[in-house]
Chain A
Amino acid sequence: MRYGPILAAAMLGGMASAAAAQTELSLWYHGAGSANAEEALVNQLVEEFNASQSDYTVVIETFPQGAYNDAVGAAALAGKLPDILDVDGPVMPNWAWAGYMQPLGIDEAKLDGFLPGPIGRWNGEVYSVGLWDAAVAMTTRRSTLEDNGIRVPTLDAPWSLEEFNGALATLKASGKFEYPLDLGMAWTGEWYPYAFSPLLQSFGGDIVDRSTYQTAEGVLNGDEAIAFGEWWQSLFEMGYAPGTSQDAADRDTGLLNGKYAIAWNGNWAALPVVEAFGDDALFLPAPDFGNGSTIGAASWQFGVSGTSEHPDGARAFIEFALQDRWFTAFSDGTGLIPVTAAAAADTQNYKPGGALEVFYGLSEAQALVRPVTPGYLVQAKVFEKALADIANGADVADTLDAAVDEINEDIEANNGYGH
């Protein structure tokens, strides 16, 4: 009996030392306060990883999205970055260039079969991986198109510029809608480059010259970009789309209550459309304005911080997350697109015959990531301002020239951003 306390103490000591042997990994996540299930799923992912092995314990800190990037910047300055970072896809090159992140170093065979958007590459190396992606589509009703004699486009045969303009004119002339097209101008920020730069790319322009990433000259103010700008401005001048003063509530419900005929919107807003219109709901590919039909790609992803002292542990966590069951769980919980076909087949919405199956196909066929350059953060804001100004009546050529100057000056000021 007298050995009992000693034995118990020894056992407790052993347990304590086992616990102490675990290396703590910090993870920062951007979605504090998010209304959907994403935060709960990230917490579940952390819990299951911690329970699955005895080497590491991941501790999560959540940040409100609006403050997240600034918090990471401040922490990097103070040398206090966490081990695992959550990063928005188009922001990753900037963080990698600034040394906030290091190459992931995972076996790329694990990424076979992934959609292109969720893989974050910079300078030939994978820095981040996402568990989901998002896609946008021309959202409308089959009956709206058929009643107005408008062809239903397909991935193989999307609308051409003439067809699309004709469809808008027809819908406007029908007098049934306040506007034939809702572009979502009530939304600001990243929505502009994410949703609208693919339209510019389809015209043949771009935000920056992707062959060198050293200039926007010729791509953001060339003939194709000016043609895009003039078309863009005409949408508002001709009353085809509500402009920058659009009511945010109309953005959410305008299509559902018949105010708009077609909405350029994402898969995250698709389920209410399906619920409202059932089989009549249509999610159509982006029009082809002459240089292919593309949509934006890349959402939030996980990566390893540049100062992590435990990159092996951080990598182990990310590899643990790269399982189809997690892709399925996140998709079912948040409505976003799973990153592999196998995971999609198990989801509620993206399985064959699922309500949102079409979005997986759109992501697979049309996704084009935003410019992969550290300068994107500045370029996105310049692009947003230029498009808003043009929508509000600014001279197209002058506005695009000014945008090019601003982007080029930033690239020069940053010595080419390491390209």
Chain B
Amino acid sequence: MALVTPDNHGLRLWTRYSVLVLVAVIFIFPLLFMAMSSLKPDQQLLSDTNSLRAFLPVGDISMQNYTDAFERAPIGVFVVNSVLITGATVLFTLFVCSLAAFSFVFLEWSGRGLIFSILLATLIIPYESIFIPLLLMVSQLPWIGTGGLEWGWLNTYRVQIIPFIADGLSIFLFVQYFKDLPRELIEASRVEGASWWTIYRRVVMPLSGPVIATAAILKFLFMYNQYLWPLMVVQAEEIRPVMVGLGYFTDQLNVPWGEVMAYLTVITIPVLAFYLSLQRVFIASVASTGVKG
């Protein structure tokens, strides 16, 4: 058995931190490049890509790209739309999927094993492959709105939210987490006369912070990055989300890269804020469930 001396302990620490710093640099450089590039005129931005200057606030620095980007596209509207759509979907997903998982883990009903297997099988189907039939379906669905019964969900907020509320991955995450909760807690609650709803609300969910954070972050990222679906179902600018808005910065020949970087910097802020606010519980959840995100 090797002895841990002060010398090799220091070496291990040094190696460990070197690796961590290297990984951190690899992850942070794209963000740094984006933020720094958003401050530079196009010509300088492109010429700086050949050197480390690309990651530094040097040369002709200004906020002009931000001014131009805000003039080119209604960025505020897009960000509000995305936050609204994403936020609503995340909230409904957490509620619906946790209830479904609760049913799979704690309630006894015939066929739940089979249905759970089918649900898991849906994880291997890419969303993009069902978009065409989904489009045809939502374009014919009824809705009761302010003007009474109407047909078709296209060009609405709901068509960007409802189809994504229930998903196999979130249910799977909740199921895995719920299985590890002490059974004694549930049984004791039942003995005390608590209803299933009370157990879900008062016992299970308060103990599920890490999985709620994990499911919320994964769903947030998926929804916030949605491009193809809103492109297909939304025509009105006032309900368009941020990723489709990126198209405002390209035409047939030219791409104003500085403005693109400014736009990306602005729309990245909500994602970073959301992640940082849940970072601690997310890491705890990853450590406990082995989710690789």
- Which residues on A are within 8 Å of B, measured CB to CB? 28, 31-35, 61-67, 70-71, 74-75, 77-80, 82, 187, 189-191, 247-249, 252-253
The CA of A333 and the CA of B43, in the complex, are separated in Å by: 25
Which B residues are in CB contact (< 8 Å) with A75? 235
Task: Tell me if B's interface is mostly helix, strand, loop or mixed.
Answer: helix
The distance in angstroms between the C-alpha atoms of A74 and B131, with both chains bound, is 10
Pairwise interchain contact A65-B244, C-beta atoms closer than 8 A: no
**Which residues from chain B sit less than 8 Å from chain A, CB to CB?**
42-43, 46-47, 72-73, 132, 135-136, 139, 152, 154, 228, 231-233, 235-237, 244-257
- Give the 4 A-B residue pairs with the shortest CB-CB distance, closest first: A33-B248, A64-B247, A74-B232, A78-B139
Extra contacts, 19 of them, besides A78-B154, A189-B253, A249-B42 (Cβ < 8 A), are A32-B237, A35-B72, A61-B235, A64-B246, A67-B247, A70-B232, A71-B232, A74-B233, A75-B235, A77-B132, A82-B235, A187-B254, A189-B252, A191-B252, A247-B47, A248-B46, A249-B43, A249-B46, A252-B254
Chain A residues contacting B73 (CB-CB under 8 Å) are 32-33
Docked pose: A408 CA to B266 CA in angstroms: 46
Question: Which of these, A79, A248, A253, contacts B255 with CB under 8 Å?
Answer: A248
Q: What A residues does B235 contact at CB under 8 A?
A: 28, 61, 63, 71, 75, 82
A35 to B67, CA, bound (A): 13
Q: Quick one: given A32-B73, A33-B249, A249-B46, are A61 and B135 in contact (CB under 8 Å)?
A: no
Shortest distance in angstroms between B225's beta carbon and chain A's nearest beta carbon?
Answer: 15
- B83 → A minimal CB distance (Å): 20
Question: Are B135 and A74 interface neighbours, CB within 8 A?
Answer: yes
B245 and chain A: residue at smallest CB distance: A64
Contacts of A34 in B (CB 8 A): 251
Contact B244 A77 (CB under 8 A): no
- CA–CA, A66 and B228, complex, Å: 12
Complex Cα spacing A223 to B97, Å:
64
What residues of chain A lie closer than 8 Å to B46, measured between beta carbons?
247-249
Task: Check A67–B135 contact: CB distance below 8 A.
Answer: no
B255: A residues at CB distance < 8 A: 248
Q: Which residues of B contact A190 (CB under 8 A)?
A: 252
A80 and B248 form a contact (CB under 8 A):
no
Taking the closest CB of chain B, its distance from the CB of A392, in whole angstroms, is: 20
Residue of B nearest to A88 (CB): B252
Query: Could you pull out 25 A-B pairs where Cβ atoms are within 8 angstroms?
Result: A32-B73, A32-B247, A32-B248, A33-B72, A33-B247, A34-B251, A63-B235, A64-B245, A64-B247, A64-B248, A64-B249, A65-B252, A66-B250, A70-B232, A74-B233, A75-B235, A77-B136, A78-B139, A80-B139, A80-B154, A187-B253, A248-B42, A249-B42, A252-B43, A252-B254
Q: For the complex, what is the distance from the CA of A123 to the CA of B121, rounded to whole Å?
A: 48
Greatest chain A CB density within 10 A among B43, B139, B231, B245 is at B231
A171 to nearest B CB, angstroms? 24
Given A64-B244, A80-B152, also A70-B231 (CB < 8 A): yes
- Which of A64, A65, A78 touches B135 (beta carbons < 8 Å)? A78
With A74-B232, A74-B233, A78-B136 as known contacts, state yes or no: A191 contacts B253, CB within 8 Å: yes
Residues of chain A within 8 A (CB-CB) of B135 are 74, 77-78
Bound: A249/B136 CA distance, A: 43
With the chains together, A32 CA to B245 CA distance in Å? 9
Alpha-carbon gap, A34 to B257, bound state (A) = 14
Nearest-CB residue, chain B, relative to A68: B247
Closest to A189 in B: B252
Interface centre among A32, A67, A253 (most CB of B within 10 A): A67
CA distance A214 to B218 in the complex (A): 49
Q: How far is the CA of A408 from the CA of B122 in the complex (A)?
A: 37
Closest to B46 in A: A249
From A80, A189, A253, residue with most partner B Cβ within 10 Å = A80
Smallest CB–CB gap between A30 and chain B, Å? 9
A395-B167 Cα distance, complex, nearest whole Å: 49
Question: Most chain-B Cβ atoms within 10 A of its Cβ — which of A28, A33, A78?
Answer: A33
Q: Are A67 and B256 in contact (CB under 8 A)?
A: no
Asked if B236 and A61 make an inter-chain contact with CB atoms under 8 angstroms apart, the answer reads yes
